[in-house]
Amino acid sequence: MDLAGYRVYRRVKGTSAWTKLATTTKRTYTDAPPTTGQTFYYEVRAYDKAGNESAGSSDQGPVTTYDDTAPTAPVLTATGVEASNNLSWTASADAVTYRIFRKRDTATSYTELAETTATAYTDTTATYGKAYDYKVSAVDAAGNAGASAVVRTARTITPPSNVVATTPSWGAVFTWTEPAGGDTADYEVYRSETSPVSISSATLTDCRSRKVRTDEAGNTIRSCTDYDGDQGRTYHYVMVRKNTAGLWSTGSQQLTVTRPGDEIPPPNVTGLTAEPLEYGVKLDWDDSTAADLAKYEVYEQPTQWDTPEYVGVVDAGTSEYVVGPDRADGEATRYVVVAYDIYGNSRIYADSNDPDIDPWSQPLSTVAVTELDLTPTAIPEDTAPCSLLTYTAVGHHGGMYIDCADSVPTEAAGINVYRWDPATSTYVRVTDVPLKPTATNYTDTTIPTGTTVYYVLSVVAADGSETFSNVDASVSLPSGA
């Protein structure tokens, strides 16, 4: 009288474990067993309102089902080596055979390669270096098949391994370990703005500064630097290598790096002035406001139509530069000062990627100046059989080379050196005693510092008369410079 209902149970033939299928107050139940080809038994148990359950009815069955359930899909792994593509996969519990399918990565349909009861296969018919897609189907006794995921690989030598990238301000630096055997003949680095990297469409970089070293463990380590690409942009890279047999590998593990910095050049310097000196020109400008400033470069541009020529560099934190030592001869010229940041950006290279744009056509900071003119107002006639070539000797002394005709050592009484004195507009002799006619050089230890000095030689004849050489200048730096 306290009957609450019935519980329906099912078990697989050959097992003792019952699975509860349903609870009902009716005396009928329709089951839709899984179509796995298994055989099942059933029993019914009554239970009361207190939850007590009776013993099971006599087993009913066996009931055999139709098998249309595919085996568990294998997990496929594919590895390309030089001689073959090697496949392996996990076993499926109810599979009786496995079918291997292959297609080129550019194809649309698969071809069955083989059927096997093993869980591995070696494909030696794949063309070296070409990418192939593989899949494996596990097939049960009823013909049901479960396919693995598609795996792509290619026959290849060992690609670069342990590849790492660092991004200093000047580029992307790649370092990788040489595979065992050390048979690398060449390697290439590909760059792409999209991921994954497709070597067929990626940019082949000009990876320079290639180096080879040996680490503490004895491994050969290679490195190179991609100096190109935009600062502040994210790029994806892969590397391939060629061995001494001429075979190229597949790509290495992809690396993704973001170049530091930006592509924004520092602003033009302001307040640029030029002060003519007796030994050159002093340039001065305002400190740049750029937080990432690295340096200034100074160029000379005689006229606005000339291409500027590099003169020197000034580190950040300094905003003046002395052009010289340079003779003060009244030349009119122009100077350009360009600011560079730590990423190499500057106004002259802001549009350098456009071949139709002259980098020097950009608005730049320039200053015009006319040098002081300390050239002698009187130039003696050059009739002496000797000539001079001046230079600035160690210690800021005025030096000169003397080049005379073969007749001078035997026919002349000596050689005098004269220096132009701007204060008196005359040449003053600086040699108390004439030099020997065999002299080939002379150093003026009394030269004024921080100025331009002009010299002339005189060849003293036996009768005391003098003939004069060309005039040449020597520039001395200030004391302590």
Name all domains of the chain by residue range, CATH numbers in brackets: 3-64 (2.60.40.10), 76-154 (2.60.40.10), 161-258 (2.60.40.10), 273-370 (2.60.40.10), 386-476 (2.60.40.10)
Predicted confidence band of residue 397 (pLDDT cuts 50, 70, 90):
confident
In this predicted structure, the answer to whether residue 396 has a pLDDT above a threshold of 80 is: no
Mean pLDDT, range 51-60, rounded to an integer? 93
- CA–CA separation, 180 vs 175, rounded Å? 16
- Mapped onto helix, strand or coil, the DSSP state of residue 324 is coil
The two structure tokens encoding residue 59 = 């087993």
Predicted confidence band of residue 354 (pLDDT cuts 50, 70, 90):
low
What are the residues facing 67 on neighbouring strands?
Answer: 36
Q: Which of 36-40, 127-131, 250-254, 331-335 has the lowest mean pLDDT?
A: 36-40
pLDDT of residue 276: 97
Mean pLDDT, range 213-241, rounded to an integer? 94
Mean pLDDT of the chain: 93
What are the residues facing 47 on neighbouring strands?
Answer: 5, 53
In this predicted structure, the answer to whether residue 131 has a pLDDT above a threshold of 90 is: yes
pLDDT of residue 358: 74
Percent of the chain predicted with pLDDT > 70: 97
In this predicted structure, the answer to whether residue 350 has a pLDDT above a threshold of 60 is: no
CA-based torsion, 127, 128, 132, 134: positive or negative? positive
Mean pLDDT, range 309-327, rounded to an integer? 95
The two structure tokens encoding residue 348 = 């002259």
Mean pLDDT, range 326-346, rounded to an integer? 93
Which amino acid appears at position 201 of this protein? S
In this predicted structure, the answer to whether residue 90 has a pLDDT above a threshold of 80 is: yes
CA angle 310, 313, 318 (to 5 degrees): 145
In this predicted structure, the answer to whether residue 481 has a pLDDT above a threshold of 70 is: no
Q: How many CB atoms lie within 10 A of CB 325?
A: 21
Relative to beta strand 76-80, strand 332-341 is unpaired
The two structure tokens encoding residue 452 = 């331009």
Predicted confidence band of residue 356 (pLDDT cuts 50, 70, 90):
low
- CA–CA separation, 45 vs 289, rounded Å? 90
Say how many residues make up the chain: 481
The pLDDT tens digits for 149-197 are 999 999 999 999 999 999 998 899 999 999 888 899 999 999 999 999 9
- CA–CA separation, 265 vs 426, rounded Å? 52
Residue environment code for 144-155, b if the CB has 16+ CB neighbours within 10 A, otherwise e: bbbbbeebebbb
- CA–CA separation, 387 vs 363, rounded Å? 46
In this predicted structure, the answer to whether residue 394 has a pLDDT above a threshold of 90 is: no
pLDDT of residue 182: 85
In this predicted structure, the answer to whether residue 248 has a pLDDT above a threshold of 60 is: yes
Contact 462, 311 (CB under 8 A): no
The pLDDT tens digits for 406-460 are 999 999 999 999 999 999 999 999 999 999 999 999 999 999 989 999 999 999 9
Predicted confidence band of residue 103 (pLDDT cuts 50, 70, 90):
very high
DSSP type of residue 44? E
What are the residues facing 77 on neighbouring strands?
Answer: 88
- Tokens 């005391």 belong to which residue? 464
In this predicted structure, the answer to whether residue 319 has a pLDDT above a threshold of 90 is: yes
- Mapped onto helix, strand or coil, the DSSP state of residue 41 is strand
In this predicted structure, the answer to whether residue 393 has a pLDDT above a threshold of 80 is: no
Mean pLDDT, range 461-471, rounded to an integer? 95
The pLDDT tens digits for 296-311 are 999 999 988 889 999 9
pLDDT of residue 395: 65
In this predicted structure, the answer to whether residue 14 has a pLDDT above a threshold of 80 is: yes
- Mapped onto helix, strand or coil, the DSSP state of residue 130 is coil
pLDDT of residue 353: 55
- CA–CA separation, 390 vs 471, rounded Å? 9
Mean pLDDT, range 56-67, rounded to an integer? 88
Contact 236, 189 (CB under 8 A): no
What are the residues facing 98 on neighbouring strands?
Answer: 116, 138
DSSP output for 194-243: SSS--TTTSEE---EEEEEEE-TTS-EEEEEEE--S-TT-EEEEEEEEEE
**What are the C-alpha distances in Å from 137 to residues 79, 118, 120, 143?**
18, 12, 12, 11
pLDDT of residue 357: 67
Predicted confidence band of residue 392 (pLDDT cuts 50, 70, 90):
confident
Which amino acid appears at position 79 of this protein? T
- CA–CA separation, 6 vs 416, rounded Å? 136
- CA–CA separation, 472 vs 458, rounded Å? 13
